[in-house]
Structure 1
Amino acid sequence: MNAPKHFILRKLGSLTRTINAIVESEFKEYGLKRGQFLYVSRICENPGINQMTLSHLLKVDKTRAAKSIKKLIENEFITKARDKNDARAFLLYPTDKGQKVYKKIIEEENRQVDICFKGFGDSEKEIIFLLLSKMTDNLEEDWKNLKR
């Protein structure tokens, strides 16, 4: 490879920030801020998910997850209910408002996918998916070792 390996991570970071900036701009009108669309989408896709599982899924620390969840509850995108099996835990569910905005989130996600993969063949998309999955798996142990 001609370019240094660290440029790959820089490109991934730039791509992520670009997509987040576009998406956050799109969802301002719904009252979603700073990545909250990620929480809404995962809760809609996994109704009854607990906060710990959600924070692991999104790769965010518990404190950040708690703050975002609190705001989403205040703005009526989600609700929480005590877990019947674990009185210390809460389960998260989307509200009707959350479900409606989720449809918009998926529309925008599909639009971003179409833009990002313009000109890519199916085999190229599959290779990217496999390589990114491998990179994610390689970092999993470091992620688990972080203090949360």
Structure 2
Amino acid sequence: MTEKKEVLREIGMIARCLDSISNVEFQHLNLSRGQYLYLYRICENPGIIPNQLAEMIKVDRTTAARAISKLEADGFIVKKSALGNKKNKQLYPTEAGLDAWAFIQKEGVHSDQVTLEGLTEEEIELAVNLLRRMRHNIEVDWKFVKKGGRRAYMNESE
């Protein structure tokens, strides 16, 4: 039986490979490290507010704010005041943002094809379902720690 820690190592290695590829592939778009993910989510969800975006990507608000500011300064997105709540700023892609998103989507399709090559539809569906369950499990701790909590660790003998 594979040790439990191997699952997270494999997920981490896949994520780092894809992130490294994306950072190289998106250099010509003038997107800094990881900004493509923010832009992608904003294009998928025009009008999203920064707190929702941070929650969706699983980063803290400060990290999201830096990335959002950079995307805005580089002309990929604009912030607009929400109609009912002027404090909330809604995020929208610009024409340049939508153009970049089109390329990012193509890269995503290609990465999916390469990563999932040789897997059956049933295997892919199983992998997605298992990964979602793992994400739901860890989100409980993520939210707890994000609010200042400290996790209680199991004894090493367990």
TM over 0.5: yes
Letter in structure 2 aligned against 1:28? Q
Residue 146 of structure 1 deviates from its aligned partner by: 2.6
Q: Which residue of 1 aligns with 2:119?
A: 120
Question: Which entry has the higher C-alpha Rg, 1 or 2?
Answer: 2
TM-superposition CA deviations, 1:23-60 (whole Å, max 9, x none):
11000111001110001110000000000000000001
Letter in structure 2 aligned against 1:29? H
CA distance in 2, matches of 1:101, 1:125: 28
TM-score, length-normalised on structure 2? 0.91
Structure 2: any 5+ residue segments left out of the alignment?
148-158
CA RMSD of aligned residues (A): 0.9
Q: Which residue of 1 aligns with 2:140?
A: 141
TM-score, length-normalised on structure 1? 0.97
Number of residues of Structure 1 aligned to a counterpart in Structure 2: 147
TM-superposition CA deviations, 1:35-89 (whole Å, max 9, x none):
1000111000000000000000000100000000000000000000111222221
Letter in structure 2 aligned against 1:25? V
Q: Which residue of 2 aligns with 1:100?
A: 99
Q: Which residue of 1 aligns with 2:31?
A: 32
Structure 1: any 5+ residue segments left out of the alignment?
none
Question: Which structure has more RCO (C-alpha within 8 Å, separation ≥ 6)?
Answer: 1
